[in-house]
Structure formats: C-alpha cells, structure tokens
Amino acid sequence: MRQIAFKARRPCRCQHIDSPGGRRYTQAMTNHLTIALAQINPTVGDLTGNVERIRAAAAEAAQAGADLVVYGELAISGYPPEDLVLKPAFQNAVEDAVAALAASTADGAPGLLVGAPWRSDGVLYNALLLLDAGEIAAVRFKHELPNYGVFDEKRVFAAGPLPGPIAFRGVRIGAMVCEDMWFPDVAECLDESGAEILCVINGSPFETDKLDDRLNYAVARITESDLPLIYVNLVGGQDELVFDGGSFVLGADRSLRAKAPSFVDEVLITEWRRTGDSWTCDAGPTAIGGDILLATYCAMVLGLRDYVNKNRFPGVLIGMSGGIDSALSAAVAADALGTDRVHCVMMPSPFTSQDSLDDAAECAGLLGVRLDTVSIEPAMDAFKTMLENQFQGQSADTTEENVQARSRGLTLMAISNKFGSMVLSTGNKSEMSVGYATLYGDMCGGYSVLKDVYKTTVYELSNWRNGEAAAIALTDALGPDGRVIPERIITKAPTAELKPDQTDQDTLPPYDELDDILHCLIEEDLALPDIAVRGHGTETVKRVWRMLDMAEYKRRQAPPGVKTTRRAFGRDRRYPITNRFRGDV
C-alpha cells in the first residue's frame, strides 16, 4: 500500500480565479445544500457526447432539488486525454463546450463542478470549473500532478498553485482534483483559508486494493482539517484503464454518510445542513461493496464493454480451445456484450482431444453463443509443404508447434477482416509474464480481458462465475445466469495441445508456485533471496526471473487489456528489452 506522504508545513499561498473578471461574490449564508455526486462514463475526445451526459445528470439532479452537481476529473474531455490534449484545436473545442455548458446553468439551474483541460495565460492545466448562473464562476487548477504508473500528467499539464476555496451560494467549498487529496498541502491550504466542505473530483482507475487507499487518504485529510469530504470518481473503461466509480461522502467525524455503487453510472443525492460553524451530511444511500472477485470480474466486463462499444466494433471473435482461459474470456464477453455479439471458433488440429472438442461445445452451449469449427490441419499441411526444402534435415521442435498457433491466429484475423468483429485475445498474466505464448498466434487480437489476471485467479474467477454469488451480484450482466463453464474445463490439466500428451507443467512450474514468484517479481520487486525464503527453490526463482525478462519483447507486441492490479504490463511496468541483469549477481 502506498504510504501517506506528509510534506513540511509552509505558509499558505492560495490563488484562485473567480468569475471571468476575477470578481468576488459576497453571498448570504445558507444553512441547507443539496449536492449531487454524478459519476458518469465519459469518452475521451467525445466532447458533444460528454456534455450530453453531464446535462442528463444535471437534469436528473435538478429534479431532486440539487443546488450543485459534482462530476469527475476531466469529465468534459474524458480521462486520460494523453497527447490529444496538446492539440490547440482540441483545446479550443473544449473551451467552446464549456462555454455552452455554462450558459445552461442560468435561470435557477443547479451549479456544475466539472473537470476540464483549461488554458490560462497560454499555460495548460488540469482544471476544476464551477459553472453557475450562466457563466464560469470559478476556476481551480490541479496542484499535485501524478507522474508514476499509468499517469504522466507532467508531460501535458502544468502544476497549478495552491488553491483557495470556491464561494458557492453562501458556502465555501474546498475543491481539489484527484491527486491533491493524496498529500496534505492542498487540503491544509483550503482549511486555513476558510473552506467548509472538502470536495475532490477524481479519475481514479480500479486496482484490486485501491478502495482502502482512497478511504485512508480521505480520512487523513479529514483528520487534519476537521472538515467533511465529498469524493466523486469517474466510471467506465478507457483503453486499458477501468474507472470504478464508488463515489462517497465522509463526515467530519470520518463516518461514511453515503456511497454510490461501483462500475455503474449513478447520480447520488446528498443533503447537507449547517450546524453552528460546521456542515453535516444526512445519512444517505450506502452501496455495499463486493468481494475482490466480484470487483475484478466487473472491471473486466466494463473494460471490455466500453472498449468494444466506444470503438464501435460490432462484437468479438474468440478462439475457443476447450481450455479455461478461452472459456472465461467468452463468459466475460457474453456478460459484457450479450450472447449475440460473441462468436467463438474451435480450430482443431490432429493433437486436439475429443475432450477439448466436447468441452468447447458445452461451454458455448451454456453461454448461448455461436460456435463454428474450422480445422487448421490443411494449413499445417500447406506450411509443411511450403517449408519442406528450408527445413530439410531438421528435427521437429517448437517451430511446428508455433505454426499451429499462427495458423489459428491467421484464421481468426481472416474472419475478423471479413465480418468486422474484434479478435479477443485469451492469454493470461502468468503466460504473458514468462513468454508462454506465440507471437502472431495466440497473441493475435485487439484486446485481452485476462492480460492482468494470473492463472490462479482465472480458476478462482471461473468458479465464482459459476456460483450463486455471481447471479446475485452481476445485475447488469447480459449473459446467462448460473453455470457457464463446464466443470471439466476447470479441473483438467491445462494444455496447449500442440503435441501429444502436452501439459503446461511440462514447461512451467505449477501455477500456484509460478504466480507467487511472479507476484514477488512484478508487484513487489523482491530480490531473489527474499523470494526464495517464501519456500521456492533458488533455481526455480532464477529460471522464472530469466523467462520474465526474456519475454519483454513479446509483451511489447501484445494487445492492450484490462488493468486490474497495481502493476500491469505496459505503462505500469516499463522494462528494457535489451537487459542482461538477472538478479543473481
């Protein structure tokens, strides 16, 4: 868990921009405020669509009597906009969209607290804007810019000064942007300059243990300031990131006053009352958090659904092998998109067992998805003939195995090209870690839902999806309830079936051992001796380390996929391909 960082206390240097002319408003004190927490699902670059979502949430909040509607970080542009935000044409379009949205707040409409990229004196900031009474009433800039993991905001934004509170209808709101809550300076400055309620807008992506972090930092800021806190997060998938919502309110006594559900759009109405010099939030709806398997599965479903829909693919195409990875991928796809948008293809070779054929058919039947069969044996024979002179005198080895995998990849890509569905890769994090995958073969695809899921978790998720808990919890799933993965798929030994009697454990350590070693190497960056003392043989640890580093060149060519852990492959973990350090020196 990330450590809470406390900086040296320094004099408050709050700066702010209130209204276009820098005017200050003297407002009568109010004793009641209705604040709506609007966790919406924006799409990066879809300014028109994002403004429509903001307006729809504002209309819903207005019907409930809201005075103020709070949205997530960069809700206007979508988050993260990456280098798109550097285009002057995009910056101009954002400003036009904000001006139009501000005009809609006239005539007694609720005020809107929204995030947007914003230029000031020729400098670009990650900003928070108060739109009220038909104008841009206040602007604040993000002070703490994250520059780690998937975040590189210092690349595109300038850091803003420490902000002062925003005066809104008789209340001084201490507004912050995401990372500003993770350090004490901004909240301290807001407290010292008279803030009465802290309010944080966020673009905080899902990770399996992140909810505790958010609550811990929120509690730390409340403890330091004795002020209640509003936390509003985005929801939805953006490339590899999934924003899980879960917006909440904590009272000045650190009690949970209201919480929105995770992974769904929601407008949460909260009622606030002044008692003496303090504000309290009435107890409101508090969504119950699910277990980690539910959260991980929901992240996979939402990530795939938004990737496919936002990029306008008609559906997905899956190579169904009769193994657990393709079965779970198909289940996620059916839940995300509906069974009519999932097309599975079984591509048997001479080494494919009857059990695999039967298991693939049963799984497709349980899911209610289309399953076609295309034999790759003619392709294998064609390649054997084509390469006969080149391979003369050479013994068969993994080359011939990879030809099979690549024949399947070519088959899927041909069907994808013809009909438009996106190929969904089915490789898991364990396999991608050690290179147990074939470039241009089973690594083919436009997206992967298992990219950040270890093999042991694949088994756990499969058992969970088959159980009663899934039917109760997956309220927005489009696939069937109940058992969708045949028991034999879960219990049989995993195999690529590229040669007779092959199993994964011919090449790899048992997955429970492999995954623990990989977690130590990837998520924890432990040294070899520290991993060995957990009960792993030193030579096994060395071998896994070597496989992990040697497979970096493959991972650079892998499709994107849902991030679920603190260190997913890609921008979370950037290792050199050319690298001779192996940890045993």
What is the H or E stretch that residue 56 is in?
helix 47-63
Cβ neighbourhood burial of 108 (10 Å; 0-12, 13-18, 19+):
exposed
* CA-to-CA separations, 138 to 111, 167, 200, 278, 404, in angstroms, rounded: 11, 8, 15, 23, 61
Last residue of a domain, one of 483, 501, 519: 501
312 in a structural domain: yes
Q: Does the pLDDT of residue 11 top 50, yes or no?
A: no
From 12, 14, 135, 178, the catalytic residue? 178
Last residue of a domain, one of 232, 248, 282: 282
Q: Same domain, yes or no, for 257 and 401?
A: no
pLDDT of residue 4: 38
pLDDT digits (tens, 9 = 90+) for 283-301: 999 998 778 999 999 999 9
Q: Does the pLDDT of residue 48 top 60, yes or no?
A: yes
Mean pLDDT in residue range 231-238: 97
Q: Same domain, yes or no, for 258 and 387?
A: no
Classified as helix, coil or strand, 346 is: strand
The residues that bridge with 248 in the sheet, in sequence order, are: 231, 259
Q: Count the neighbouring beta carbons within 10 Å of the beta carbon of residue 36.
A: 25
Strands, E assignment, 41-110:
68-70
Choose the weakest-confidence range: 127-141, 264-278, 281-295. Answer: 281-295
Instruction: Judge whether 296 and 208 are in contact, CB under 8 Å.
Output: yes
pLDDT of residue 573: 86
Q: Same domain, yes or no, for 218 and 170?
A: yes
Q: Count the neighbouring beta carbons within 10 Å of the beta carbon of residue 557.
A: 9
Classified as helix, coil or strand, 388 is: coil
Q: How far is 345 from 98, CA to CA, in rounded Å?
A: 47
pLDDT of residue 583: 66
Q: Does the pLDDT of residue 497 top 70, yes or no?
A: no
Q: Same domain, yes or no, for 249 and 385?
A: no
22 pLDDT band, cuts 50/70/90, is: very low
User: What CATH number is given to the structural domain containing 275?
Assistant: 3.60.110.10
474 pLDDT band, cuts 50/70/90, is: confident
Q: Does the pLDDT of residue 452 top 90, yes or no?
A: yes
* CA-to-CA separations, 555 to 159, 427, 548, in angstroms, rounded: 33, 11, 10
- Angle (CA) 239-127-189 rounded to 5° is 125
pLDDT of residue 288: 83
With 0.75 as the threshold, say if the pTM is over it: yes
User: What CATH number is given to the structural domain containing 456?
Assistant: 3.40.50.620
- Angle (CA) 544-546-551 rounded to 5° is 95
pLDDT digits (tens, 9 = 90+) for 382-402: 999 999 999 999 999 989 999
Instruction: Judge whether 38 and 267 are in contact, CB under 8 Å.
Output: yes
Instruction: Judge whether 478 and 336 are in contact, CB under 8 Å.
Output: yes
Q: Same domain, yes or no, for 114 and 260?
A: yes
257 in a structural domain: yes
Q: Which has the closest alpha carbon to 125: 185, 183, 74, 187?
A: 74
Mean pLDDT in residue range 146-156: 89
Q: Name the residue type at position 119.
A: R
Last residue of a domain, one of 282, 313, 344: 282
pLDDT of residue 217: 94
Q: Same domain, yes or no, for 117 and 189?
A: yes
Q: Does the pLDDT of residue 209 top 90, yes or no?
A: no
* CA-to-CA separations, 160 to 1, 25, 118, 139, 534, in angstroms, rounded: 27, 23, 11, 11, 46
pLDDT of residue 454: 96
Q: String of b and e for 296-320 (b: at least 16 CB within 10 Å)?
A: bbbbbbbbbbbbbebeebebbbbbb
239 in a structural domain: yes
Looking at the chain, the whole-number percentage of residues with pLDDT higher than 90 is: 82
Structural domain including 412 reads 293-501
Q: Which has the closest alpha carbon to 146: 63, 71, 104, 204?
A: 204
Q: Does the pLDDT of residue 46 top 60, yes or no?
A: yes
Q: Same domain, yes or no, for 348 and 277?
A: no
Looking at the chain, the whole-number percentage of residues with pLDDT higher than 70 is: 95
Torsion of CA 307, 308, 309, 312, to 10 degrees: 120
From 73, 271, 362, 497, the catalytic residue? 73
Q: Does the pLDDT of residue 490 top 50, yes or no?
A: yes
Mean pLDDT in residue range 113-136: 96
Total number of domains in the chain: 2
24 in a structural domain: no
Q: How far is 239 from 481, CA to CA, in rounded Å?
A: 28
Please tell me the total number of residues recorded for the chain in this structure.
585
Q: How far is 531 from 522, CA to CA, in rounded Å?
A: 12
Active site residue 178: yes
Q: How far is 549 from 171, CA to CA, in rounded Å?
A: 55
The pLDDT mean for the chain works out to 91
Q: Same domain, yes or no, for 72 and 182?
A: yes
Q: Same domain, yes or no, for 120 and 82?
A: yes
481 in a structural domain: yes
Q: Which has the closest alpha carbon to 18: 125, 159, 172?
A: 172
The residues that bridge with 201 in the sheet, in sequence order, are: 177, 232
pLDDT of residue 579: 86
Q: Same domain, yes or no, for 115 and 193?
A: yes
Q: Does the pLDDT of residue 161 top 80, yes or no?
A: yes
Q: Same domain, yes or no, for 297 and 226?
A: no
298 in a structural domain: yes
584 in a structural domain: no
455 in a structural domain: yes
Active site residue 554: no
Instruction: Judge whether 335 and 474 are in contact, CB under 8 Å.
Output: yes
Q: Does the pLDDT of residue 23 top 60, yes or no?
A: no
Q: How far is 74 from 177, CA to CA, in rounded Å?
A: 9
Choose the weakest-confidence range: 183-187, 261-265, 568-572. Answer: 568-572
Q: Same domain, yes or no, for 277 and 335?
A: no
The residues that bridge with 538 in the sheet, in sequence order, are: none
